[in-house]
Each structure stands twice: as structure tokens, then as C-alpha cells.
């Protein structure tokens, strides 16, 4: 169960029109860039008929906005990054210290060879501006720079860039596994096309011969 699902279950268990005294608390363990966090959300209807909510992360009382940003799966989101940094320094200082390594000089671009069957292509890392809504609805949509790859064969670009669906842009090839899947899909498309062409040749009538 993710955080939006947990909050929706709390809303259904204790809707605004529930009678005074109604209450419910749910928990879930969610994965974050900081590791797994146990989250909890509770709602109750007080004696005045008002709905009250409370939220926790690893047993610490937090505001709803902190809960949503801390558990946001968008690693590049600056809102989430800021909250996670504060959380790591205050709540998990020991773990935070072991996660960070000393900065090292690295090349600006590292090309990787990807092989699928007999085809060998070069995957070049790139950053793509992607218009992205927050998965948790914690803030308005924003443009994030996301990692991905462009694929090249003999200096010709085979694929990459971004793909868009319902106004949301994402890297078309976000990982090397996605690069392999992309090449396999193109290979299958080529086989299907060749099969259609050959099938059409077999069905095409040949030249007329004497006696026909």
C-alpha cells in the first residue's frame, strides 16, 4: 500500500459525515530514497462533529505536507529532496552519514554499449526536461530534469528523447534495461514487417505461362 492509498482508506473509514466518536488508524511501510519508512494516518470525529487528522513517520508526528513530500517517489523533486535532507539530518543522522560518500571526479558523460542479439548500440546518458505532476499531489506540476539515455548506432540516433502521455513527459529510455527492451521491441517489429512482406510475395500472382 502506498501513501495515497492509505489516505484514501482513512477517508473512507472516517468520512466527514461520520458520527462523533468515529475513529480509525492505518499503517503502511513504504519505500523511499532514504529506505523504508513506517507511516501511519488516523482520523476521528470529535464531539463537535469536526473531522481531525493525524500523521506519523517512523513514530514521529508530522504534518500532511511533510508526509507527502518525504514519501514522494520522485527522486529529482526539489520539494521532496529538501524534506528528505532535513529528515535524514534530524531523525536518521547515523544512517544519513553512512549514505554519503566523498565527492569524486567523474566524466561528464559515460557511454555504455548495449548488445541485443547481433545488434550493438551505444547508450549515451542525457538529462531531459520533463513536465511532471507530483504523484502525491503535494505541490503543483513542475518541470524536472530526469536521467535517461539516447541510443546511437554508427552515429545515427535510434531512439531516446522523451515520451508524453496525458500531458506528462518522461524519458523514453530511463535505464539500460529499458534500452534493451526498446531494442528487442524494434527487432520484433522488423521481423513482423519482414514476415508480412514475404507473405505478400507468396500471395502475389506470378507471370502467365504458355498453356494457361
| pLDDT one-digit tens code per residue, 35-53 | 899 999 999 999 999 999 9
Residue 162 or residue 188, greater confidence: 162
Most confident of 19-23, 70-74, 163-167, 182-186: 19-23
Q: Which pLDDT band, with edges at 50, 70 and 90, does 55 fall under?
A: very high
Q: Where are the domains of the chain?
A: 3-99, 112-203
- Tens-place pLDDT, residues 75-87: 888 889 999 999 9
* Strand ranges inside the chain, DSSP E: 23-32, 35-45, 51-57, 60-62, 112-116, 119-132, 142-153, 156-159, 162-165, 168-171
pLDDT number for residue 24 = 97
pTM above 0.75, yes or no: no
Euclidean distance between CA atoms 161 and 126, whole angstroms: 9
Kindly give the pairing relationship between strand 156-159 and strand 23-32.
Answer: unpaired
Lowest mean pLDDT among 32-36, 63-67, 103-107, 186-190: 103-107
Q: Which of 167, 125, 162 is nearest to 142 (CA)?
A: 167
Residue 210 or residue 162, greater confidence: 162
pLDDT score of 3 more than 70 = yes
Which residue has cell 473531522?
A: 51
- Tens-place pLDDT, residues 140-187: 888 988 889 999 988 889 889 999 887 788 899 998 999 999 988 887
Which residue has cell 547508450?
A: 123
pLDDT number for residue 53 = 96
Amino acid at each position: 500500500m502506498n501513501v495515497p492509498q492509505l489516505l484514501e482508506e482513512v477517508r473512507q473509514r472516517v468520512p466527514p459525515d461520520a458520527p462523533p466518536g468515529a475513529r480509525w488508524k492505518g499503517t503502511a511501510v513504504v519505500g523511499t530514497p532514504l529506505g523504508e519508512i513506517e507511516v501511519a494516518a488516523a482520523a476521528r470525529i470529535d464531539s463537535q462533529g469536526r473531522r481531525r487528522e493525524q500523521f506519523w513517520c517512523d513514530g514521529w508526528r508530522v504534518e500532511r505536507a511533510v508526509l507527502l513530500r518525504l514519501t514522494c517517489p520522485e527522486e529529482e523533486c526539489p520539494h521532496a529532496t529538501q524534506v528528505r535532507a532535513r529528515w535524514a539530518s534530524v531523525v536518521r543522522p547515523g544512517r544519513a552519514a553512512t549514505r554519503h560518500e566523498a565527492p569524486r571526479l567523474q566524466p561528464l558523460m559515460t557511454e555504455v554499449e548495449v548488445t541485443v542479439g547481433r545488434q550493438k548500440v551505444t547508450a549515451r546518458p542525457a538529462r531531459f526536461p520533463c513536465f511532471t505532476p507530483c504523484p502525491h499531489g503535494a505541490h503543483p506540476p513542475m518541470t524536472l530534469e530526469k536521467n535517461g539515455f539516447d541510443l546511437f548506432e554508427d552515429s545515427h540516433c535510434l531512439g531516446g528523447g522523451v515520451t508524453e502521455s496525458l500531458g506528462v513527459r518522461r524519458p523514453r529510455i530511463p535505464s539500460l534495461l529499458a534500452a534493451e527492451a526498446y531494442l528487442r521491441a524494434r527487432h520484433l517489429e522488423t521481423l513482423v514487417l519482414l514476415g508480412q512482406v514475404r507473405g505478400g510475395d507468396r500471395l502475389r500472382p506470378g507471370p502467365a505461362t504458355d498453356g494457361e
